[in-house]
Structure formats: C-alpha cells, structure tokens
C-alpha cells in the first residue's frame, strides 16, 4: 500500500512523549508496518522530547505526521519554535543530553529540517522495503 497519511496534534508537555510513541505504534501496526515500529517510535520520541525541552512558550501544540510514499515512511514533527534550527552535534561523554539527533541520524535513511511559518518541521525517512524484506525472511 502506498500513499497513506495520518497526523495528530499533541500538547507541548512531558506526557505527550509516550503518547506520541503509542500513536506511532498504533498507526504503523494498522498499516501493517510492524517492522518499523521500534525505530519510528524511538525517532518520534526523540523529536517530541526536543519539542518539549526546547520549544517552551512558543505554542501549545506540536504535530506528528506519518506518510507512506514510494517505499518510504516519512515521519515529521512540526512545532512553532523558529529561533533555532536543530543541528546534529556530538556531545561530550559527560553531557547528559544532546544525543537525540544522533539517534535520528543512526535510525533513519536520511533526515532534515525545513522552516515553516511559524516554526519548523523535522522529518526522517525510513525505508519500508528493507524492513519488510527482513521481517519476511525472519
């Protein structure tokens, strides 16, 4: 199946992070993409955590979108925080945060950020074919 889209708004608060993970799991199981659930849920969790930690006072909600297009799952998190665009960085060993985009980078085929008015959207691509073939082979 190709061309599916689903999205949901979440409040910018800490309990939205596990809710975002549950949402991703529910949608992907419904789309029969169980093999992507763990990676997509972790990416959603990291991006939602970034919104909660860094986008305070810029809006009440963020949106998490899932799209299935041409053999790729596209996961997007959009918020209204526009002052700083996220960048991949390598934190020192003694730092307790700053690894979210490293995880996104490791789990996705590619990812990026695009501005919107107001704010930004962070997106990540996960290939469907590779995971489906791996699940079928068992």
What pLDDT score was predicted for residue 56? 63
Closest CA to 113 of 124, 102, 103, 104: 124
Q: Is the dihedral of CA 17, 24, 3, 71 positive or negative?
A: positive
Q: Which helix (H) or strand (E) holds 38?
A: helix 37-54
Number of domains in the chain: 1
User: Cis before residue 82, ω within 30 degrees of 0?
Assistant: no
CATH number for position 45: 3.30.565.10
* Three-point CA angle 95, 97, 103, nearest 5°: 120
Q: Which domain holds residue 130?
A: 4-137
What pLDDT score was predicted for residue 133? 45
pLDDT in tens, 45-90: 999 998 888 876 667 899 999 999 999 999 999 998 766 666 666 7
- Residue at token pair 């959603």: 44
Q: Which two tokens stand for residue 118?
A: 């107001």
């Amino acid at each position: 199946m190709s061309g599916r889209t689903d999205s949901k708004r979440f409040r910018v608060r800490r309990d939205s992070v596990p809710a975002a993970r549950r949402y991703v799991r529910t949608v992907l199981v419904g789309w029969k993409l169980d093999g992507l659930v763990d990676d997509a849920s972790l990416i959603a969790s990291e991006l939602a955590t970034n919104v909660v930690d860094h986008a305070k006072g810029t809006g009440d909600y963020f949106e998490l979108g899932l799209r299935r297009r041409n053999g790729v799952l596209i996961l997007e998190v959009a918020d209204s925080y526009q002052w700083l665009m996220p960048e991949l960085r390598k934190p020192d060993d003694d730092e307790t945060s700053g690894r979210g985009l490293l995880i996104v980078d490791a789990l996705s085929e590619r990812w990026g950020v695009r501005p919107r008015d107001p704010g930004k959207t962070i997106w990540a691509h996960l290939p469907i074919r590779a995971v489906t073939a791996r699940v079928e082979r068992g």
